[in-house]
Amino acid sequence: MGDSANSNLEIEHFRDYLRLLAQLQIPGKLKTKLDASDLVQITLLKAHEAEADFRGQTRAERAAWLRQILAHTIANALRDHGRAKRDVALERSLEDALHTSSARLEAWLVDKGDSPSAVSQRNEQVVELAQALARLPELQRQALLMHYCDGLPLAAISEALNRTRPAVASLLRRGLRQLREYIK
């Protein structure tokens, strides 16, 4: 297998992770008009085209590089949708938001006494978590993301999903149980 094939596999490994981050960043009113999967596909294409420019050595550096490309892709899509000029501040704030979303995903997995090797392992676990989340039913995934990534209380999630609080609590319980099974 050549370097190009290895690079493609390495980049492809982040697909679900990037899709999850994109879903978290698309404003609610545009979720029906912008598809996270399409944005990720464009991101991966750009990454493949710019692979020679990647100077990192680790998966964490590759994830950061891909998040940056995703931020630019989302900013371009939002600009195109709103017909606005390029807004560097928007791109920068999206990069920060994507980093924050990624950090919240990592917070699910944090152990306070992490060594450097544990941090590296956790970075890989974040990608695994994103892959497991992608396998969940849509309502469970939405409830988990709203609660753990957006920090929304049960009442707000209940209203957003048009479900009762007990139903949302059940979605969260079942989603977490399913995630544990997928990650084992």
Structure token digits, residue 177: 């149980």
Which of 29-43, 48-62, 165-179 has the largest mean confidence? 165-179
Query: What per-residue confidence (pLDDT) applies to 30?
Result: 75
Rounded CA separation 12/8 (Å):
6
**146: pLDDT strictly greater than 90:** no
Q: Would you kindly state where each structural domain of the chain is located, as residue ranges?
A: 3-135, 137-184
- Which of 13, 10, 44 has the alpha carbon at shortest distance from 131? 13
Q: Are 86 and 79 in contact (CB under 8 A)?
A: yes
Residue 89 has pLDDT above 70, yes or no: no
Quick one: 53 exposed, middle or buried, by C-beta within 10 A (0-12, 13-18, 19+)?
exposed
Q: pLDDT class for 56, splitting at 50, 70, 90?
A: confident
Q: What is the pLDDT of residue 125?
A: 76
Place of tokens 């980049």: 11
Confidence at residue 130, expressed as pLDDT on a 0 to 100 scale: 84
What is the domain class of 137-184 according to CATH? mainly alpha
Both tokens assigned to 137: 């039913």
pLDDT band at 119 (very low <50, low <70, confident <90, very high): low
Can you give the pTM of this predicted structure?
Answer: 0.63
